Amino acid sequence: MTDISEPICAIITPPGYAAINVIRISGKGSIGIVAQYFKPRKKLLNSPSHRVVFGTFHTKEGRAIDQVLCTVFRAPYSYTGEDVVEISSHGNPQIASQILENLLLDARMANPGEFTLRAVLNGKMDLPQAEAVNDLVFASGAMAESAALMQVQGILSQHLQKLLNDISDTRLRCELAIDFADQDLPLVNPEDLKNRISNLLKQAEDLYAEGTTQGKYIREGIKICLVGPTNSGKSSLFNALLKYSRAIVNPQPGTTRDYLEERVNLQGYTIILYDTAGLRMSSDEIEKEGIERTRELMDYADLILYLLPVDQEINQREIDELAPDIKNKTLWVASKYDLINPDLYTIKNLDILDGHLPDFAIPASVYVPNGLEKLQQEILNHFALPQKWVDRPLVTNARHLAALSRAISSLQNALQSIENQAGYEFTAFDLIATSQALEEILGIVTTEDLLTNIFNNFCIGK
Amino acid sequence: MDRSTFAITMSGKFDVIVVGGGHSGIEAALASARRGAKTALFVLKLETIGRMSCNPSIGGPAKGHLAKEIDALGGELGYVADLSGIHFRMLNRSKGPAVWAPRAQNDRLLYSLLMRQHLEEQANLSLIESSVSELIVKKGRIQGIRTLQGKEYYAPQVILATGTFLNGLIHMGNISFPGGRSGEPASEALSSSLLQYGLKLGRFKTGTPPRIDMQTLNYNFLEEQPGDPEPIGFSLYREVELSNKVSCYITHTTPETHNIIRENLHKSSLYGGIIKGIGPRYCPSIEDKIVKFPQRESHHIFIEPEGLNTYEGYVNGLSTSLPPDIQEKLVHSIPGLENAQIMRYAYAIEYDYVNPEEILTSLECRKIKGLWLAGQINGTSGYEEAAAQGIMAGINATLALEEKEPIVLSRTQAYIGVLIDDLITCGTNEPYRMFTSRAEYRLLLRQDNCDERLMPLGYKLGLVSDVRWQKFKHTMELKEREMERLKTEKTINHPDLKEPQKFAVLLKRPGITIEKLKLYGYQPSPEVTPDILRRCELELKYEGYLYRAEEEMQRFRASENLTLSEDIDYYSINALAWEAREKLMKIKPHNLAQAMRIPGVNYSDTAALLLWLRKQQKLERKAE
């Protein structure tokens, strides 16, 4: 963080091809800098705040790069509180980089979160608001928003406050033993102290565990990987879950050779679905590669939907070979379940089916109305995800999780110090460290580190 | 020091005047005189100089730290405590090495006599018995003082260390009479003088227990508490021979005691509503203890001998403001004290204190330049707390004579720093007593390293003699050498160990002490004392903790380095909450760290202040 009004710029839309890209420049002289490359120049220079100016962006040498829209914000009426221009170009990443390259002749590349940092420095928002901006940018799905909302409502704060009170109560016992050594206060019982700290540790660990699993699902979405033998209906299920056709569905086995990724919303939770290549022995090099990718995805996913189509014989060996940790995060799905409903479809291969369909598989059909309802329910059940977040503290913010993790290791040290009979002042030291970490989540402390850390969490362009 | 800058020509003219001969005034006067300033110490009675008006005891948790810090700075309290000590114990020995707390029982009379002698022998120091009634102030600057007899004395620096004497009011049951201490007059005029200059005063109370004739005790019912076999005192590098000459005794209150108190509660000055002042929570009267902890069936009582030439005993734990006849009943309800004769009755005292928001962290008064306040007048309690402020006021008053910046010890340096910062930054709504838990960097501010922390400063200020300084430096060399040995030399082959280990590594194991290292082949170097060994042991064994504490301290120092200029107009910073603006304007913190601790300045205010500061710095840099 150097000069506060030095112009900074960045592409603020995600990398890749899109309809448009937006490049933002903020700081002293921003409008003039853009105007050097923009025609009609005067129109931009004289534009009032909050106006869009249409024109062409040229290189320094005068070659036209693209037709662009420039939105002008004049200080202090902008996101950062400074002069800001946002240039919307066509969605070719090449174009956006060329525009940026020219701006970089007079401006510096913005650091992650620097636009928001300036907004804070210029009094446009306070620190908690800035953090909320970050969470909002990354919030995916209704649940993420509501988790953020809950945080605002203070469920987490209340829970942490209680934890802090318990810690301070425990610490008090150490302090009494030290500071009132010459008086007749009840002696401190190390066993009691140990129990108290163990209990605190458990609470913190539970909070952390929920935060890293459920909190992460809310923050990042749930990664679900569709796996199964070729032609088991993975792509049909994928599409059905997506509710529009994206993967090529073809009865010819081996159609999906690589994997597809899509985001869907399941009762407010974001699900990242992966459709994979079918698992089968293949001599096709490309397909082999695809199968390899499938195995990687299975490791990476939070949940695997393993399709066991009712019209195929189950490859028991294939299932047996799966690693235990993979099996633990697998839901077995009896796909094409409609095939065994005589009212709707002809039973093709009931003999094969008999004794092969494991009784733990979840029936699923993309052709029957509500044929996926049970599956959706089982997915939510698998993660023990409640339908609504009420009265439950949940840590979803990465910075908060890191602080919680520090609190846990401090509590572990505190336990250790009692076991080693190191002295209550050391136990107290660890308990203070625990409190400080938790207070950081509550925003009670302020240090340079804290400020810097918050803004480092931001992506470039925010 | 350039003496010509404040040469004295006329009689009645001094460089520094100190008012009050208690623990605070003594240190102030000695520090001032030792730094070369012509100093006058005004006392109400020469015989009561350095009087221990409460326990005949110095030290204990946190107070022992203060005593040793004062000693390292070149003060007198720890030294005289050692010379007059008759019983020494190291408290917290079993609890934790970083909070060991030395404590001594002292011969009250000897303590007082020795203090007086040391003051009389001090060059540049005049002792004057006279009651100071008025301050002489011109244009917001102190000029001197006026005594009750009407005589005026002049000095550019005046230190007030009047303890509990300001408007002192003694209570015993429903009887109240003015007094500064048992049997001594109060100082009423001075309070109105302070009020006249607009200083905000508050009212506190404190109390003492009865004193009994130890010849009338039944020792069969008392548990003896002897001193430590190897007594450890407070003063370093002064070679005082320490020995235990008496024992203390422990007994306890009974259900009968509690009944007597409950039945007579209405007769207590405190519960009868006569006392308005606020007393310390942690030094409660026996009435308080019974009322606030009704479930406790018994409280400990310690009998502390008052000296070698008297049988008077201090009944620690029985502080009360009940009338004398009830006190008799109380005392006799305690095992071993059935026939005890009370020699002095307990009393409670109410006194004026100056709201610490009236002073700066240098202890100089905000409203009157050249006036310094130290000790119980600032709302503290305890000898050590008073003395700690006294020595700092003495140092800073003389620095002011030299037109130098005052020395303000940081919380990262000393308990003294914690004490003064707490008082000024947070204020106090009860008599302030020091606790180790008040010091964030407790693991680093230990009683064993007071000399390492403060002696260089004491020496620089001319308060530590060359002889002591040389001994200190020698000790540091020995310590360093021994640390190096422990870190590099290895153990012998031992069945407990897979292979020989460095001593320092082995020492980190739970249960291994430096004493036990001897089993593994460690031989301390010949000159190394047990004290040096203890320091090495602590620093090596708890290296991990000390390292983390150090890291935290560095972070804190970073915010201490963000200085706030005195002329910041906090009212103009819009991002601050209104309450924070008012508090900041009043206290004018020196740095961000101090600002953060002001009650009413919360997190978002500090963040706003930090950002404002940053912006300001950038603007300044730009302007250059």
Interval B185-217: pLDDT, tens: 777 788 888 889 999 999 998 888 999 999 999
Nearest by CB: A181 against B91, B437, B443: B91
Q: How far is A37 from chain B (nearest CA, A)?
A: 29
B57, B64 Cβ separation under 8 angstroms: no
The minimum CA-CA distance between B368 and chain A, rounded to whole Å, is: 35
The answer to whether residues A358 and A430 belong to one domain is no
- A433 contacts chain B (CB < 8 A): yes
Residue A141's pLDDT is: 56
CB atoms A426 and B95 under 8 Å: no
Number of domains forming the structure of chain A: 3
Q: Measure the CA–CA gap between A339 and B35, rounded to whole angstroms.
A: 102
Two tokens at A119?
A: 């907004």
Higher pLDDT, B97 or B183: B97
Residue linked to tokens 């350039």: B2
**Domain of A418, in residue numbers:** 146-218+393-456
CATH number at residue A452: 1.20.120.430
Identify the residue with better confidence: A218 or A69. A69
Q: A165 or A265, which is more confident?
A: A165
Which among B92, B443, B618 has CB closest to A4?
A: B618
Mean pLDDT check: name the lowest of A422-426, B136-140, B619-623.
Answer: B619-623
List pLDDT tens digits, range A311-320: 777 777 777 8
Is there a single domain that holds both residue A235 and residue A357? yes
- Whichever domain contains A327, its CATH number is 3.40.50.300
pLDDT at A250 exceeding the cut of 60: no
Examine the domain organization and report whether A74 and A166 are in the same domain.
no
Residue A252 has pLDDT above 60, yes or no: no
Both A226 and A356 in one domain: the answer is yes
Question: What's the angle, vertex CA A317, arms to CA A312 and CA A322, rounded to 5?
Answer: 105
Considering CB atoms only, which of A121, A180, A449 is closest to B615? A121
Cβ contact, residue pair A178, B436, below 8 Å: yes
The model's pLDDT over B316-362, given as tens digits with 9 standing for 90+, comes to 999 888 999 999 999 999 999 999 999 999 988 899 999 998 999 99
What is the percent of chain B where pLDDT is above 70?
Answer: 95
Cα distance between residue A320 and residue A311, in whole Å: 20
Domain annotation covers residue A399: yes
Q: What is the mean pLDDT of residues B237-249?
A: 95
DSSP states along B361-380: TTSBBSSSBTEEE-SGGGTB
The answer on pLDDT for B96 being more than 80 is: no
A371 and A254 belong to one structural domain: yes
What are B375's two structure tokens?
Answer: 């000790």
pLDDT given for residue A340 in this prediction: 67
Q: Does A46 fall in a domain?
A: yes
Is residue A280 located within the same domain as residue A418?
no
Mean residue pLDDT of chain B comes to 91
Cβ contacts of A170 on chain B, cutoff 8 Å = none
Domains assigned to chain B = 211-347 (2.40.30.260), 477-547 (1.10.10.1800), 561-623 (1.10.150.570)
Chain A residues lying within 8 Å of B437, measured CB to CB = 175, 178-179, 428
Question: Using omega within 30 degrees of 0 as the cis cutoff, is the peptide bond preceding A76 cis?
Answer: yes
- Cα–Cα distances in Å, from B294 out to A140, A225, B36, B209, B284? 57, 65, 56, 21, 14
User: Tell me, what's the pLDDT at A243?
Assistant: 67
Q: Mutation test of the interface with chain B: which of A183, A424, A445, choosing the one with the most B Cβ atoms within 10 A?
A: A183
**Does the distance separating the beta carbons of B558 and A178 come in below 8 Å?**
no
- Look at B402 and A108; give whichever has higher pLDDT: B402
Residue A175 pLDDT: 84
**Residues A171, A212 within the same domain:** yes
Does residue A253 have a pLDDT over 60? no
Structure tokens at B587: 């206290």
Residue A175 is assigned to a structural domain of this protein: yes
Size of interface A-B (CB pairs under 8 A): 109
**CA–CA separation, B464 and B467 (whole Å):** 8
Q: pLDDT tens, B539-556? A: 999 999 999 999 888 888
Q: List, edge to edge, every strand of the sheet that includes B141-147.
A: B132-138, B141-147, B152-154
Q: Do A423 and B103 touch (CB under 8 A)?
A: no
Rounded mean pLDDT, B522-545:
94
Q: Shortest CB distance from A425 goes to which of B443, B511, B558?
A: B443
Q: Report the alpha-carbon distance of residue B468 to residue A246 in Å, rounded.
A: 87
What mean pLDDT is predicted for residues A192-213?
90
A18 vs B507, higher pLDDT: B507
Q: What pLDDT sits at residue B161? A: 96
To the nearest whole Å, the CA of B3 is away from the closest chain A CA by 45
| pLDDT attached to residue B473 | 97
Q: Is the pLDDT of residue A84 over 90?
A: yes
Looking at residue A460, what is its pLDDT? 47
CA distance B214 to B219: 9
pLDDT at A22: 93
Query: How far does B401 lie from chain A, in Å, by closest CA?
Result: 38
Same domain, A236 and A296: yes
Q: What pairing do the DSSP bridges indicate for beta strands A303-307 and A330-334?
A: parallel
Residue B287: the pLDDT is 87
Distance from CA of A133 to the nearest CA of B (A): 17
Closest CA to A273 of A234, A309, A324, A219: A234
Mean pLDDT of chain A: 77
Q: What is the pLDDT of residue A246?
A: 47
Query: Are the beta carbons of A423 and B510 separated by less than 8 Å?
Result: no
Same domain for A365 and A235? yes
Q: How far is B510 from chain A (nearest CA, A)?
A: 5
What are the structure tokens assigned to A417, written together? 């110090």
Domain boundary, last residue among A382, A401, A432? A382
Which residue among A123, A177, A429 places its CB closest to the CB of B549?
A429
- Please tell me the distance from the alpha carbon of residue B452 to that of residue B430, in angstroms, as a whole number: 32
* Structure confidence at residue A156 (pLDDT): 77
For A198-283, strand residue ranges (E) read 222-227, 260-266, 269-275
Of all residues in chain A, the one with the smallest CA distance to B601 is: A444
Asked if residue A168 belongs to a domain, the reply is yes
Can you give the CATH number for the domain in which A116 is found?
3.30.1360.120
Shortest distance between the Cα of B602 and any Cα of chain A, in A, equals 8
CB B475 within 8 A of CB B452: no
Q: How far is CA A376 from the centre of its chain?
A: 21
Q: From edge to edge, which strands make up the β-sheet containing A303-307?
A: A260-266, A269-275, A222-227, A303-307, A330-334, A362-363
What is d(CA B102, CA B107) in angstroms, rounded to the nearest whole number? 17
First to last CA, chain A: 15
**Same domain, yes or no, for A310 and A288?**
yes
Last residue of a domain, one of A338, A359, A382: A382
Is A451 part of the contact surface with chain B (CB cutoff 8 Å)? Answer: yes
Average pLDDT over every residue of A46-53: 94
pLDDT at A40 over 90: yes
Q: What's the CA gap between B613 and A324, in Å, rounded? A: 57
Is the Cβ of A190 closer than 8 Å to some Cβ of chain B? no
Q: Output the pLDDT for position B6.
A: 44
Residue A214 in any domain: the answer is yes
Burial per residue of A115-149, b for 16 or more beta-carbon CB atoms within 10 angstroms, e otherwise: bbbbbbbbebbbbeebbbbbbeebbbbebbebbbe
Min Cα distance A215 → chain B (Å) is 26
Residues of B in contact with A423 (CB under 8 A): 95-99
Q: Residue B446's closest chain A neighbor by CA?
A: A425
- Neighbouring residues of B173: CB distance < 8 A, sequence distance ≥ 6: B267, B268, B269, B272, B321, B322, B323, B324, B326
A370 pLDDT tier (thresholds 50, 70, 90): confident
Q: Which of B92, B223, B534 to mutate to test the interface with A (most CBs of A within 10 A)?
A: B92
pLDDT at B463 over 90: yes
R_g of chain A, CA atoms, integer Å: 29
Q: Are B279 and B205 contacting, i.e. CB atoms less than 8 angstroms apart?
A: yes
pLDDT the model gives residue B78 = 97
- Amino acid residing at A13: T
Counting residues of chain B whose pLDDT is more than 90, the rounded percentage is 68
Q: Is the pLDDT of residue B491 over 60?
A: yes
Entry pTM: 0.77
Q: How far apart are CA B404 and CA B396, in angstroms?
A: 9
Residues of A whose CB is below 8 A from B98: 423, 425-426
Selecting from B443, B558, B614 the residue whose C-beta is nearest the C-beta of A429 gives B443
Q: Are B319 and B283 in contact (CB under 8 A)?
A: yes
Q: Which of A280-294, B309-323, B461-475 has the lowest mean pLDDT?
A: A280-294
What confidence score (pLDDT) does residue B441 get? 92
Q: Could you tell me which residues are beta bridge partners of residue A53?
A: A70
Q: Establish if A88 belongs to a structural domain.
A: yes
Q: Assess contact for B601 and B595: CB atoms under 8 A.
A: yes
3-state helix, strand, coil in chain A (%, to 5): 45, 15, 40
Confidence of residue B177 (pLDDT cuts 50, 70, 90): confident
Instruction: Give the model confidence (pLDDT) of B28-45 as tens digits.
Output: 999 999 999 999 999 999
CB contact under 8 A, B510 and A419: yes
The token pair that represents A238 in the structure block? 């994928």
Q: Are A361 and A281 found together in one domain? A: yes
Which one of B95, B304, B551, B612 makes the best mutation probe of the A interface by having the most chain A beta carbons within 10 Å? B95
The ipTM value here is: 0.82
Q: Residue A178 is nearest to which of B95, B548, B618, comparing CB atoms?
A: B95
- Residue B282: pLDDT band (50, 70, 90) is low
Give me the residue label for tokens 């009004």.
A5
What's the average model confidence in pLDDT over B423-427?
91
In terms of domains, do A104 and A42 share one? yes
Quick one: CA torsion of B109, B114, B116, B119, rounded to 10 degrees? -160
